[in-house]
Structure 1
Amino acid sequence: MDMSTKSPARRIDSLGDVTGGYDAIFCDVWGVVHDGLTKKRPAEAALAAARQAGLKVVLLTNAPRPAAAVAAQLDTLDFSRDAYDAIVTSGDATVALLDELGGPIFHVGPARDFDLFEGTGLEKVDEADAHAVVTTGLFDDDTETPADYADMLARLAARSLPMVCANPDIVVNRGDRLVFCAGALGRDYAALGGTVRLAGKPHQPIYDLAARVIGGIDRSRILAIGDGLMTDIAGANRFGIDVLLITEGIHGAELGGPDAASHTIAAMLAEKGLAANYLMADLQ
């Protein structure tokens, strides 16, 4: 897509200002509807209103877990199920890639992601016995950084093991701090010459899954919502759908804060080969 032909994004005050032009929404989760600790009530209300107006709302997340696990997490935050029709996760798309690779696999990631493998028939083994690697994150993202994995990644790369990265995000906000995600390990593994396959945003598999969920809606009638430039915005641009950029998310400081001019943000996006149709500080 040639971003030079795109008009500068316009700021909107409410999601309802533009929903009349769409039949479906693909909405990011972390950073848009919650911050990892607390739900964002205005976002919840906006998505519920979109559904009431007849739009299908799919929560599209790079969480490396099955959709049911993400729904359960949202339940713990008291995020209403009236605000969405379905959830499609990077974990869902990852399972398909793992099925292609077969096993046995070495899992790099926290215990909370074990449910990704339930019902898959994949054999999990120790590093030395693996034929492939899947990373869903750091073992302990509260205390570790990607630097702690340098030796392990070097060993895996020396054996030319393929890696499936279940979450392309590099970092994510958890409350008021940033934590590293699986994408940071995938990035470092690729830098070592390792083969990395990614299923989440901005890559095609997760969008294909979401498109099947909404069933036959033309791409011109789908609006993506997200705060991640190289995941949400890049993915929407590649898939050929309109996008609302949430400017006070993960890139808030980089984008210049809530008062940054639309043309300034558009220029910053263009430098990265990206474009957005609409801007909003926080979803409401």
Structure 2
Amino acid sequence: MTRIIESLAEISSAYDALFCDLWGCVHDGLRAFPAAVAALQAYKAQGGIVVLVTNSPRPRASVARQLDRIGVPRDCWDVIATSGDSARAAMFGGAVGHKVWHIGEPQDASFFEPLQMLDNPAPITRVGLDEAEGIVCTGPFDPQADPSVMRPQFLLAKTRGLKLLCANPDIVVDRGETREWCAGALAQLYTEMGGESLYFGKPHPPIYDLARRRLSQLGHDIANARILAVGDGIFTDVQGGMGENIDTLFISGGLARAETGTAEQPDPALLARFLTGAQMEPGYTIGMLR
């Protein structure tokens, strides 16, 4: 059974590093959560390492600039691992061909910027669906539109045997008070229609491999038993952490705040029902990171 805690400080001494989610835990897409920032600053002050592990489809430099804009200070984290970087490495490695149809918003153009970590990156050209060898999905064209609007294009893509590279496995995200669809919803639809989707963010292993490489680049070799995964996505953050044999802290006041009856803290009975239904058992739960 999950243990409901009041603050990160209750358990932080047992861990040398956090793999901490961003959206829903540290910010809401528009502004930082002051209590979460303070908790991470306090954790770092005691010697902990904070790796921000995010399903953002953007390169880590772009995410860092976004955090600056919305008020997440750089002294509350050490390094960033994004699903975008993990997916970009696969794309430039030729995972979906050289000519790709991009599904996403104009602001995601940085996904296609040259990647320095590969010696011989594949040349990538964005083309229309009719010319494409594969699909790169960083998110919907319109985050408010139901994913089913893509069925006609996906039917053609599936018929042609195109693989879809999903740069963000999240299904939905809350931007302030508005819920938006993410790339994971489109990849899920494409798979349900018989297409093949490739995933690189949480809960899938590539992003955790990247997070460990980021730790190594900082000079740290930390055992799984000393790493804590933190996040509000039950099928991304929690499932991913459990799959990697990493202890998990579930933030119930994010995506699942209604289902868990979370105000300051979750309702124990509703939380238990939610976790049983999801067949997940995080080691710890807290209403919001603090």
Provide the TM-score with structure 1 as the length reference.
0.94
Q: How does 1:109-120 map to 2 (within 5 A)?
A: 109-120=104-115
Q: How does 1:4-19 map to 2 (within 5 A)?
A: 8-19=1-12
Q: 1:256 aligns with which of 251, 254, 261?
A: 261
Does residue 277 of the first structure (1) align with residue 283 of the second (2)? yes
CA contact (8 A) 1:266 1:275 kept: no
Identify the residue that residue 38 of structure 2 maps to in structure 1: 45
Unaligned stretches of 5+ residues in structure 2: 116-122
Identify the residue that residue 103 of structure 1 maps to in structure 2: 98
Q: 1:240 aligns with which of 245, 266, 269?
A: 245
Secondary structure of 2:174's partner? strand
Identify the residue that residue 186 of structure 1 maps to in structure 2: 187
Q: Give the distance between the partners of 1:129 and 1:159, measured in 2 at CA.
A: 11
What is the root-mean-square deviation of aligned Cα atoms in Å? 1.4
One-letter code of the match for 1:131? E
Q: Give the distance between the partners of 1:185 and 1:78, measured in 2 at CA.
A: 30
Shift of 1:16: 1.1
Deviations along 1:136-165, one digit per CA (max 9) or x if unpaired, are: 1111224x2212211111111111101101
Q: How does 1:196-235 map to 2 (within 5 A)?
A: 196-215=197-216, 216-235=221-240
Secondary structure of 1:74's partner? helix
Identify the residue that residue 165 of structure 1 maps to in structure 2: 166
Shift of 1:270: 3.6
CA contact (8 A) 2:253 2:266 kept: no
**Structure 1: which 4+ aligned runs deviate by more than 4 Å?**
none
CA contact (8 A) 1:262 1:279 kept: no
Deviations along 1:10-54, one digit per CA (max 9) or x if unpaired, are: 121111111100000011000111111111011011111111111
Secondary structure of 1:233's partner? helix
Q: Give the distance between the partners of 2:132 and 2:266, measured in 1 at CA.
A: 49
Q: Give the distance between the partners of 1:257 and 1:44, measured in 2 at CA.
A: 20
Identify the residue that residue 3 of structure 1 maps to in structure 2: none
Identify the residue that residue 87 of structure 2 maps to in structure 1: 94
CA contact (8 A) 1:9 1:262 kept: no
Q: Give the distance between the partners of 2:272 and 2:237, measured in 1 at CA.
A: 16
CA contact (8 A) 2:259 2:274 kept: no
Q: Give the distance between the partners of 1:21 and 1:50, measured in 2 at CA.
A: 11
CA contact (8 A) 1:26 1:223 kept: yes
Secondary structure of 2:51's partner? strand
Identify the residue that residue 134 of structure 1 maps to in structure 2: 136
Identify the residue that residue 4 of structure 1 maps to in structure 2: none
One-letter code of the match for 2:33? K
One-letter code of the match for 2:13? G
Identify the residue that residue 85 of structure 1 maps to in structure 2: 78
Shift of 1:277: 1.1
One-letter code of the match for 1:241? I
CA contact (8 A) 1:32 1:226 kept: yes
Secondary structure of 2:126's partner? coil
Q: Percent identity?
A: 41
Secondary structure of 1:251's partner? coil
Unaligned stretches of 5+ residues in structure 1: 1-7
Q: Give the distance between the partners of 2:284 and 2:268, measured in 1 at CA.
A: 9
One-letter code of the match for 1:70? V
Shift of 1:243: 0.7
Q: How does 1:142-161 map to 2 (within 5 A)?
A: 142=144, 144-161=145-162
Identify the residue that residue 265 of structure 1 maps to in structure 2: 271
Q: Give the distance between the partners of 2:207 and 2:268, measured in 1 at CA.
A: 29
Shift of 1:263: 6.1
Shift of 1:96: 2.0
One-letter code of the match for 1:283? L
Q: 1:25 aligns with which of 18, 29, 33?
A: 18
